[in-house]
Structures are given as C-alpha cells and as structure tokens.
Amino acid sequence: MEAYKIWVRKNRDLVRSLESLANGVTWILPERFANSEIAPEAVYALLGIVSSVNQHIIETPTDVLTSKEQSIPWALVVSILKDVEAVVEVAAQHFVGDDHKWGFLAVTEAVKACVRLAAFRESGYRMLLQGGEVENEEEDHVLADNHGVKSNGVPVIYPMNGHSQNDNGIASNGVDGKVGFVSKSLEGRAVAALSKFGQNAKMMSDPMWLSKLQPTPVPPVMEVEKPTLATIWSSRGVPGRLFMLGEAVHIFRPLVYVLLIRKFGIRSWSPWLVSLAVELTSLGIHSHATDLNQRAGKVHQLSSVERDELKRRKMMWALYVMRDPFFSNYTKRHLEKAEKVLNPVPLIGFVTGKLVELLEGAQSRYTYTSGS
C-alpha cells in the first residue's frame, strides 16, 4: 500500500488523466442506464472510489498519511458513499423493483447524514463544502471594532514576524524567549526592551561549562482543545446557533426527500415541494444568521470558500427541473421538441439525440438528481 501511495504522488498527472479517460468511457458503455444491467454502474462506482482514494493520497501530506493517529478521513468516506449509493440503487431496482428500492436508498441516505454530522463535528462545526467531500480548512475571519479590540474582547496586536503576543505586549516563539515583535504602546515597548536586556545579561553571566551541563529544554506540546457542541452553542450566541441549525437542515434534506418519495411515490408533488422548501429554509437560516452578525458588527463572518459554497447550493437548485414530476410534465416535453428540430441537421442532430438520451437516462436515477 505504501508503494502505491508513493507511485500515485509521483505520477499524479498521469493518474488524473487515466481517471478522466476511464470515467468518460463508462458513459458510453452499452446499456449504461438499463434497469437490468448492474455491471456498468458498478464499474463506474469502482472508478469513482479509486479516483477519490487517489485524490485523498495526493492532497494529504506524507506525514499525515504515515501517522498512526490520523483521524478518520470523513471527506473520503462521503465520496465513497456517494459512489456506493449508485450501485445500491441499481441493485435494488434490479432485485426488488422500482417501488421497493426507496427503502434501501433511505438507509443509504441515513448513513450519509450520520457521516456528514460526524464530519461537521470533526471540522469544529464549520460549513460543509460540497456535501462534506471537501474539507473546510480556511481560517475564521474576526472583525475588530474602532477601539482596536476583537469581538471576543482580546486587544488587537501588531505582529512583525508571524509569532503570537502575550498580555504584556511581548512576543515569543515559544522556545527560547526571543522577542519577535512588540506592542505599539510605550509600556509594551519598555517591557520588551527590559526582557531582551535580561535575556542578554543572563546569557553573558552563565558559564559555558554550566550551560553544557544543563539539558536542552524541550518545548511543551500544547494540545489544541477541539470545540464541543456545548462550547460552540454557548459562545457563538444566536447567530452561531442559527448557523448550526441551517447546516443540520441542509444535511438532512436528502433523507427527508427520499423518505417522502418512499411514502408518496416519485410522481407525487409532495416530495418535490417539501425538498425545495427545506432548501429554502436552510438558505434562509444562513442569511438570517449573517444579517445578525452584520448588525452586531463584531462576530465571525463567512469565509470566501463558505460564500462560494452557498452559491454552489443555489446553483444546485437547477436539479429540480430534472426531478419528477417536474421533468415528466415540463422538461421532457421541451427536450423532445429540441431533438425533433435539430435531428435533420448533420452531426448536430446526432449529438443532440445522444445528449437527450443521456439526460433521460440520468434523470431516471435518484442518485444523479437528488443533489446529495
């Protein structure tokens, strides 16, 4: 396994090219969307799993891959579950039929929801990116008010060398006590100068033989305490609680959707409308939390990747035109008209017909239209 990891990291461009070629070929396999054919979907899912594993190897540092204490790669688990769900749907459709496959899909969505909740907790309750397939590693942005104080009441400091500063205005790298930067206040400068003078005097007064006998101090390892749900719930206030509620609603939306399909059927408007209402509710909660943050003027704001994620979620609403009953009543009719108009045109008619065939085939699969 270690040899394979090394090979993937050294040949990342070749690996990605082979994956793209293989995934493209699977879309033109015979009976790609046939109800009785499981093998093409299994091949496609296997290629997706291999691609996700390779991507995880490429993006994860070597020291983390070889560490025995590394946490569960939740992003990789979510990616694998999404590929496995496609096989589960096809197998259930083949063995138990269209009407009874929804129970198996509901179990799969419940597992995915639990995994995403675990990833949400592991990330420190940050927004999930692409359904948890991408880790949210961007640092929080904290606003400062006009008095030079952070929103949590900690004075703003002015770093020069990228180190941290203590309460006396003295900066240290945590190992030898050297001054890295000083505060802009006169008091901080004076204390920093005295500290530096004391360090120099101590070094000159210590005999060389005594310093050799003294063991080299080992810097203490500081464990960063991971925020818990209780601490986040109490520290972030109403906006933070609304943010977590919005993420929970977004996580459980696919499960609610498939459960309603299982109860009312794919042709019913109830699952379609409720799913859309849940999407709007999640976005509305996030928007309200952001508005409360802006009014307070001193709290955590969304990062750039989180704003892009909200835009991506809005774009995913386009899948509603591919979901039944909207697709059967409206979208399919327009696709057939476009195919008839462009069919006489050489080459364009062939490409249009193939595109319509792929769209209709993909639309028949819950896995490709659920947006989960």
Closest Cα to residue 372, out of 49, 33, 128?
128
pTM above 0.75, yes or no: no
Q: What is the 3-state secondary structure (H, E, C) of the chain?
A: CHHHHHHHHHCHHHHHHHHHHHHHHHCCCCCCCCCCCCHHHHHHHHHHHHHHHHHHHHHCCHHHHHCCCCCCCHHHHHHHHHHHHHHHHHHHHHHCCCCCCHHHHHHHHHHHHHHHHHHHHHCCCCCCEHHHCECCCCCCECCECCCCEECCCCECCCCCCCCEECCCCEEECCCCCCEEEECCCHHHHHHHHHHHHHHHHHHHHCCHHHHHHCCCCCCCCCCCCCCCHHHHHHHCHHHHHHHHHHHHHHHHHHHHHHHHHHHHCCCCHHHHHHHHHHHHHHHHHHHHHHHHHHHHCCCCECCHHHHHHHHHHHHHHHHHHHCCCHHHHHHHHHHHHHHHHHCCCCCHHHHHHHHHHHHHHHHCCHHHHCCC
Tell me what pLDDT residue 297 has: 67
**Exposure of 150 in the CB half-sphere (CA atoms within 13 A):** 12
Q: Is the pLDDT of residue 150 over 70?
A: no
| Of the ranges 69-73, 137-141, 192-196, the best mean pLDDT one | 69-73
Tell me what pLDDT residue 211 has: 47
- 345/359 Cα distance (integer angstroms): 20
- Please check whether residue 300 is in contact with residue 293, taking contact to mean a CB–CB distance below 8 angstroms: yes
Amino acid residing at 292: L
| Percent of the chain surpassing pLDDT 70 | 65
Summarised one tens digit per residue, pLDDT across range 30-89 is: 555 554 467 777 777 788 888 888 788 877 776 555 555 557 888 889 999 998 998 899
Summarised one tens digit per residue, pLDDT across range 274-316 is: 999 999 999 999 988 888 877 776 555 778 898 999 999 999 9
Summarised one tens digit per residue, pLDDT across range 114-124 is: 999 999 988 88
Residue that is written with structure tokens 């001193």 in the block: 298
- Please check whether residue 328 is in contact with residue 267, taking contact to mean a CB–CB distance below 8 angstroms: yes
- 282/290 Cα distance (integer angstroms): 13
The domain ranges of the chain are 71-139+227-369, 140-224
Summarised one tens digit per residue, pLDDT across range 195-251 is: 555 555 445 544 544 444 455 555 554 555 556 666 666 656 787 888 889 999 999
Tell me what pLDDT residue 280 has: 95
